[in-house]
């Protein structure tokens, strides 16, 4: 008996032929990927049958088939779907659904997300496409192509996301194959942008052009993205996975909210390694669970980062929880093992030893300019500038997509960058073309001088496109930000994060003000948290109001901002003001006691 890859099957009494084929194929695949052998498996991928491994072999004979070390009967529903059919191998199914203009059944709905296709009923009876934009860097040509797709087959708009990415909504099933084909024609992909995969790799949005940065991380984000696209075992993880590269410059990429955050640091002489720029590795950021990524104690040369990311992801793939979705993120594996064991397991997969140096041996990260992603700024290249353009809650209609592409080509180098603040940046604009670029931005109905609150406002999809949402997040976010900007003259940045459910895609716990959608007496409302921040301002926001109808919220926020503007210390930020006061004091400033 031979398997399809001509490997002779070892006799495994107690298993059907199909089970034997499955087991041997699975272990051979694991061995090919170079991951740790399981008990009873040889380095060659065959199940051991020697005298010394008799006990393990006996156990294997009696055990039911496993999937990443978990018996099939214990797998959660999504893992069973992954085990039953590899979602990367469903092209014919995608074609069939398009030909029949048919919505997917629940298992295929999950698999389609591996291709960036989200069937979002009942919120909308259509597909949302999520792309991959590594490092948030797009070309004008790609932006034009996406605009054409949005105009011809979608909702006439793109949404910029909090992972420097692009989503386009309202594609009908009949169009999904030509949508994916068009994405490929543009030199892009949507593969792995949803489900249990490594999401868009983010990078500091002005990397390579930032006078303050330590290291240009765009090539690292691009290299990791290519590694993922070309490694099948980087798909189908226990849960989604986020990776960010922070070049140590002036604009945040929220590295500490990622499963792995690589942060450039300067190391001076005297620590047993040559002075230079290295990367710290932060692990297990998951702010929806109120946890920031923390330093794992290792220091990397820049050219080691991709290999370390891949090794850590492989350990997670093999040993993460596949029985309970609520415990499947990386955090739970590291909680179970401890950081040192996790790092040691990853190190075994590397061709080089890891350097362990405490974070205290590195220079502190340079300050972040919280307003640096909006407005005109000089680049590290003399005579060139970048312009940060505000895109309220990331909504970019087709005409503005085309206008941005045109400005990027006529005034810059045809490049557009996306930020985790759902805004965009036009880089490489010579001094002589600055005024033309600014005029064209305004003519397109966009702004590079948005209000303080609007510039820092992000919102998740909300109930107009996500079935989990309790509220219309984007509409509410814009309403509130406009109200505060019109009413108050605030100079220092205020970040407003509005998220529709506890999944916290808009990371409400790291906002100066965070709103999470809830139902209040049948109406749309929010839990309000306050005083959150990331990077050097790192803190999980505290609850100010457990639940309030949105219709009651604007006057409460106005009272809070009234108190801030009248009681603040000189130069004090809104964040500093809210952190200086207890929750009870802040509640008293805006008469919340009467409301809750």
Binding site for ligand SF4 (CB under 6 A): 460-461, 466, 468-469, 499-501, 503-505
- The percent of the chain in helix, strand and coil, each rounded to the nearest 5, is 40, 20, 40
Rounded (10°) CA dihedral 130, 134, 138, 144 = -20
Is residue 406 classed exposed, middle or buried when 0-12, 13-18 and 19+ CB atoms within 10 A define those classes?
middle
Find out whether 497 and 508 touch, Cβ atoms under 8 Å.
yes
Task: Report, in Å, the least distance between residue 191 CB and ligand SF4.
Answer: 21
Task: Report, in Å, the least distance between residue 242 CB and ligand SF4.
Answer: 14
Task: Report, in Å, the least distance between residue 216 CB and ligand SF4.
Answer: 31
Distance CA 554, CA 285 (A): 31
- Nearer to ligand SF4 by C-beta: 130 or 417? 130
Find out whether 246 and 302 touch, Cβ atoms under 8 Å.
no
- Nearer to ligand SF4 by C-beta: 524 or 537? 524
Considering only CA atoms, which of 41, 38, 5, 1 is closest in space to residue 17? 1
SS3 117: strand
- Nearer to ligand SF4 by C-beta: 48 or 469? 469
Task: Report, in Å, the least distance between residue 126 CB and ligand SF4.
Answer: 16
- Nearer to ligand SF4 by C-beta: 159 or 295? 159
- Nearer to ligand SF4 by C-beta: 509 or 574? 509
Tokens of 264: 């450039």
- Nearer to ligand SF4 by C-beta: 429 or 553? 553
Is residue 539 classed exposed, middle or buried when 0-12, 13-18 and 19+ CB atoms within 10 A define those classes?
middle
Task: Report, in Å, the least distance between residue 508 CB and ligand SF4.
Answer: 9
Task: Report, in Å, the least distance between residue 143 CB and ligand SF4.
Answer: 23
Task: Report, in Å, the least distance between residue 463 CB and ligand SF4.
Answer: 7
Task: Report, in Å, the least distance between residue 205 CB and ligand SF4.
Answer: 21
Cβ neighbors of 391 (< 8 A, separation 6 or more) are 160, 400, 422, 423, 424, 446
- Nearer to ligand SF4 by C-beta: 130 or 579? 130
- Nearer to ligand SF4 by C-beta: 116 or 500? 500
Distance CA 516, CA 502 (A): 7
SS3 332: helix
Task: Report, in Å, the least distance between residue 164 CB and ligand SF4.
Answer: 16
- Nearer to ligand SF4 by C-beta: 430 or 502? 502
- Nearer to ligand SF4 by C-beta: 267 or 466? 466
Find out whether 454 and 482 touch, Cβ atoms under 8 Å.
yes
Task: Report, in Å, the least distance between residue 462 CB and ligand SF4.
Answer: 6
- Nearer to ligand SF4 by C-beta: 173 or 500? 500
Cβ neighbors of 61 (< 8 A, separation 6 or more) are 12, 13, 14, 15
Instruction: Give kind and range of the element (H or E) at residue 521.
Output: none
Per-residue b or e along 122-138, where b marks 16 or more CB atoms closer than 10 Å to that residue's CB: ebbebbbbbbbbbbbbb
Task: Report, in Å, the least distance between residue 340 CB and ligand SF4.
Answer: 33
Cβ neighbors of 91 (< 8 A, separation 6 or more) are none
Distance CA 167, CA 492 (A): 30
SS3 95: helix
Instruction: State the residue number with the nearest CB to ligand SF4.
Output: 500
Considering only CA atoms, which of 287, 278, 225 is closest in space to residue 256? 287
SS3 497: strand
């Amino acid at each position: 008996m031979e398997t399809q890859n001509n490997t002779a099957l070892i006799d495994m009494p107690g298993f059907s032929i199909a089970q034997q084929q499955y087991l041997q194929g699975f272990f051979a695949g694991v061995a090919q990927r170079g991951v740790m052998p399981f008990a009873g498996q040889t380095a060659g991928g065959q199940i051991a049958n020697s005298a010394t491994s008799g006990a393990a072999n006996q156990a294997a004979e009696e055990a039911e088939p496993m999937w990443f070390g978990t018996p099939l009967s214990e797998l959660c529903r999504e893992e069973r779907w992954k085990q039953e059919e590899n979602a990367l191998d469903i092209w014919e199914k995608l074609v069939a659904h398009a030909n029949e203009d048919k919505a997917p059944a629940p298992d295929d709905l999950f698999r389609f997300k591996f291709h960036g296709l989200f069937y979002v009923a009942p919120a909308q009876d259509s597909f949302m496409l999520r792309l991959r934009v590594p490092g948030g860097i797009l070309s004008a040509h790609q932006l034009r192509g996406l605009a054409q797709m949005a105009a011809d087959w979608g909702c006439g708009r793109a949404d910029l996301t909090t992972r420097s990415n692009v989503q386009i909504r309202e594609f009908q099933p009949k169009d999904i194959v030509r949508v994916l084909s068009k994405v490929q024609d543009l030199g892009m992909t949507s593969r792995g942008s949803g489900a249990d995969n490594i999401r868009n790799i983010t990078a500091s949005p002005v990397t390579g052009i930032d006078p303050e940065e330590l290291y240009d991380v765009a090539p690292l984000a691009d290299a990791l993205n290519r590694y993922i696209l070309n490694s099948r075992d980087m798909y189908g993880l226990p849960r989604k996975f986020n990776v960010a590269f922070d070049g140590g410059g002036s604009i945040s990429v929220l590295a500490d909210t990622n499963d792995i955050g690589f942060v450039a640091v300067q190391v001076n002489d005297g620590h047993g390694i040559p002075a230079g720029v290295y990367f710290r590795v932060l692990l297990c950021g998951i702010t929806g669970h109120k946890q920031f990524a923390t330093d794992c104690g290792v220091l990397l040369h820049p050219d080691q980062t991709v290999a370390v990311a891949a090794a850590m992801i492989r350990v997670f793939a093999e040993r993460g929880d596949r029985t309970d979705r609520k415990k499947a993120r990386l955090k739970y594996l590291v909680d179970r093992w401890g950081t040192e064991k996790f790092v040691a397991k990853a190190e075994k997969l590397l061709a080089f030893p890891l350097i362990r140096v405490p974070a205290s041996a590195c220079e502190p990260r340079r300050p972040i300019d919280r307003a640096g992603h909006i407005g005109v700024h000089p680049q590290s290249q003399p005579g060139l500038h970048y312009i940060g353009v505000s895109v309220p809650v990331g909504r970019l209609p087709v005409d503005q997509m085309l206008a941005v592409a045109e400005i990027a080509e006529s005034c810059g180098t045809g490049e557009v960058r996306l930020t985790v603040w759902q805004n965009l940046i036009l880089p490489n604009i010579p001094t002589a073309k600055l005024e033309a670029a600014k005029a064209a931005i305004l003519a397109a109905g966009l702004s590079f001088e948005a209000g303080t609150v609007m510039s820092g406002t992000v919102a998740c999809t909300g109930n107009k496109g996500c079935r989990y949402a309790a509220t219309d997040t984007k509409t509410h976010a814009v309403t509130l930000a406009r109200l505060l900007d019109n009413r108050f003259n605030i100079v220092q940045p205020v970040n407003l994060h509005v998220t529709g459910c506890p999944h916290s895609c808009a990371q409400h716990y790291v906002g100066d003000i965070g709103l999470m959608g809830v139902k209040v007496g049948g109406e749309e409302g929010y839990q309000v948290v306050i005083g959150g921040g990331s990077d050097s301002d790192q803190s999980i926001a505290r609850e100010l109001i457990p639940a309030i109808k949105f219709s009651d919220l604007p006057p409460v926020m106005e009272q809070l901002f009234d108190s801030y503007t009248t009681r603040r210390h000189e130069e004090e930020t809104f964040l500093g003001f809210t952190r200086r006061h207890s929750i009870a004091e802040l509640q008293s400033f805006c008469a919340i006691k009467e409301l809750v």
